[in-house]
Amino acid sequence: MIEAVAFDLDGVLIQSEEVWDDVRGAYVLAQGGRWDPEVQRALMGMSSLEWSRYLHERAGVPRDPETINDEIVSGMLAAFERHLPLVDGAAAAVERLAARYRLALASSSNRALIDAVLELAGLARYFEVTVSSEEVARGKPAPDVYLEAARRLGVEPARCAAVEDSHAGIRAAKAAGMRVIAVPNAAYPPDEESLALADATIASLDELTPG
């Protein structure tokens, strides 16, 4: 029996992958680093500690990882304040599920971005727990962020469902022992092998109901 639902943020509630790509890509190129599809895909699901280190060590950004992280997060916050790319139906889906289940958010985004997005969207009050992957040892596809969300809720992972859009996220939630509902991101679709791990696949958040 499902007692709680854990939402991903990027790609599920906000269409932010393009914003991440624009901000990180412009930053990396301005610093003389390498930005290409290999780098972009490698970063998906990584925690801030992981992607900032990757950009420094593998993509050739000369600044130290902490500075890279801080400057990119500042760019993301500015972008969200100008326009928050909330996914159609996201607010209604969260409200529907909150009426029946305890909600958590398990995201690869930084803590500052999670808090800002939920406040700007007016959704903070629905989430009992929010976890950033910068608060755990490993980012997605490792299960750490979902295991921590379940721990903070006091609910066994097997009694949680996760709503995910990406290959890394689906694998993370499945590895945590959760039921997984996939909402594939049209711009950055999960690979078929990862999608096959989901317990259910829906076309949009309009299909996400308590039942």
C-alpha 150/C-alpha 176 separation (Å) is 9
C-alpha 22/C-alpha 146 separation (Å) is 27
Task: Express each pLDDT in 169-209 by its tens digit.
Answer: 999 999 999 999 999 988 888 999 999 999 999 999 999 99
- Count of positions (residues) in the chain: 211
Amino acid 161: pLDDT: 98
Residue bearing tokens 């139906």: 89
* Other beta carbons less than 10 A from residue 193's beta carbon: 10
Q: Where in the chain is the domain with CATH 3.40.50.1000?
A: 4-15+86-207
Amino acid 198: pLDDT: 98
Amino acid 11: pLDDT: 93
Amino acid 85: pLDDT: 97
> Residues of the chain with pLDDT > 90: what percent?
93
pLDDT for residue 44 is more than 90 = no
Residue 78 neighbours by CB under 8 Å, 6+ apart:
none
Q: Where in the chain is the domain with CATH 1.10.150.240?
A: 17-82
User: DSSP assignment of 29-53, as one string?
Assistant: HHTT---SHHHHHHHTT--HHHHHH
Q: Across the chain, what does the average pLDDT equal?
A: 96
C-alpha 82/C-alpha 133 separation (Å) is 25
C-alpha 201/C-alpha 165 separation (Å) is 10
Task: Express each pLDDT in 110-146 by its tens digit.
Answer: 999 999 999 999 999 999 999 999 999 999 999 999 9
Cα 195–chain centre separation: 16
* CATH level 3 topology of 17-82: DNA polymerase; domain 1 (1.10.150)
What is 4-15+86-207's CATH number?
A: 3.40.50.1000
Amino acid 188: pLDDT: 82
Residue 81 neighbours by CB under 8 Å, 6+ apart:
116, 120
Task: Express each pLDDT in 13-29 by its tens digit.
Answer: 999 989 999 999 999 99
First-residue to last-residue Cα distance in the chain:
12
8 A C-beta contact, residue 48 and residue 110: yes
